[in-house]
Amino acid sequence: MNRHLEQVFSWLFKSRLIIWIVFLLALLPLLSMAQSASHNLFLLSYMSAYNDNSLTQLAERIDTSATNRPNDSVLNRIAGMILFRFGDFKGAQEHLLWANRIDPSNRVSIYWLGQAYERIGDYGNAMQTMYRWGDEEYFPVGFSELTDQRKLSLSDGLLSSQISAYAHDRVAEEVYVLEPDLARKHFELAIQKKPSEVRFLLEPAWFYYGQGDFIVAEEFGKRATTLIPTSPWPYLFLGTLNRGTGNIEQAINNYVLAIQLSDKESAKTSAYLALADVYSEQNNYNKALELLTAVQQEGNDLFTIHLRKAALFAKSDQCIASRNEVRLAQQLIVSESDAVVFDTYFSQVNDSCP
């Protein structure tokens, strides 16, 4: 008896029938939500005609049946998912769009419709659909591969579309070189969608800073301090901007404000380290060491602090203290990126303390 069962299961796996059985069983909960049980009978009837060469035929028959029943959201949803699986993304998009029009709140239809739009290169609808689905971090990879003309045309149309703040920021970065004013509009829309999230307030600030447009970068940074006055991150940005433009006194003021506003370890540590760097650059090693020691006592990011102290001691010709900090940092290496950072500082220390 056991031998016969083994032969049956062996045949099922070899013929791939078991894959379709599992697939259809997984779909049965969806089918149970339909108004009738006809969908179950519909799909199972195809299994009776199954053979090794009929996988494509199965998809074609489901496609045809769904086309003939355009008001059946469940059937069109299933047809779209199956056609997507077979690589017919245009056919999948058409069925899923029908399913979505009939039942616009069904998240399964929305998700696969967004995926189908992306596969056929309709990135505008893909971004809108995935935003409806709830993916705030979605942006199609293929967008950057579009021609300049197509990219500008699509970006202009997206100004009046419902896409995520994240997508607006990515679009802005893509079109900045082609059309700076269009990029600015997308950055503004991202802020309108997320006016209380510092990430989106500072995204354009850092971007324009990287482009060397310090005036616009400062404009966005100062706006962030107005919209979220209790956040330390805008002041950290402004301090960095001030350092880059040579306004050291204002940089120090902004870093001090960031420290005073910091209630999270990451922001406070970043502010202390940045302020210590400013004093180190001004050859005020005692003040820089005081700041590094203060943040070290809080136990935050000790690896970075030991390396900064090593560099500071090396600059002030305190080589024994510098090598001791290097050893302490080496003991805290936990990743390859840490090792790369360590090697960089180690080289700098060796140059000053051979």
Residue 145 lies in a domain: no
Going by C-alpha positions, the residue among 216, 214, 211, 210 that lies closest to residue 188 is 216
Contact 292, 316 (CB under 8 A): no
Which DSSP string do the residues of 32-70 spell out, in sequence order? TTSSSTHHHHHHHHHHTT--TT-HHHHHHHHHHHHHT-T
- Number of domains making up the chain: 2
Q: Which of 73, 100, 120 is the last residue of a domain?
A: 120
Of 120, 135, 157, the residue at which a domain comes to its end is 120
The answer to whether residue 222 is domain-embedded is: no
Asked whether residue 32 is assigned to any structural domain, the reply reads yes
Instruction: Identify the pLDDT of residue 70.
Output: 65
pLDDT at 344 over 60: yes
User: What pLDDT band is residue 8 in, cutting at 50, 70 and 90?
Assistant: very low
Whether 96 is covered by a domain: the verdict is yes
In which band, very low, low, confident or very high, does the pLDDT at 21 lie, cut at 50, 70 and 90?
low
- Across 8-12, 105-109, 283-287, 331-335, least confident range: 8-12
Phi, psi angles (nearest 5°) of residue 273: -65, -40
Q: Answer yes or no: is 26 within a domain.
A: yes
For residue 11, pLDDT over 70 is answered with no
- Quick check: is 194 in a domain? no
Residue 71 domain flag:
yes
pTM of the model: 0.77
Which of 36-40, 180-184, 260-264, 293-297 has the highest average model confidence (pLDDT)? Answer: 180-184
Q: Is residue 58 part of a domain?
A: yes
What CATH number is attached to the domain comprising 75?
1.25.40.10
Q: How far apart are the first and last CA of the chain?
A: 80
Instruction: Tell me how far the alpha carbon of residue 135 is from its chain's centroid.
Output: 10
Choosing from 120, 138, 171, the residue where a domain stops is: 120
Closest CA to 202 of 167, 227, 175: 227
Domain that holds residue 339: 301-354
What's the mean pLDDT in 134-142?
A: 95
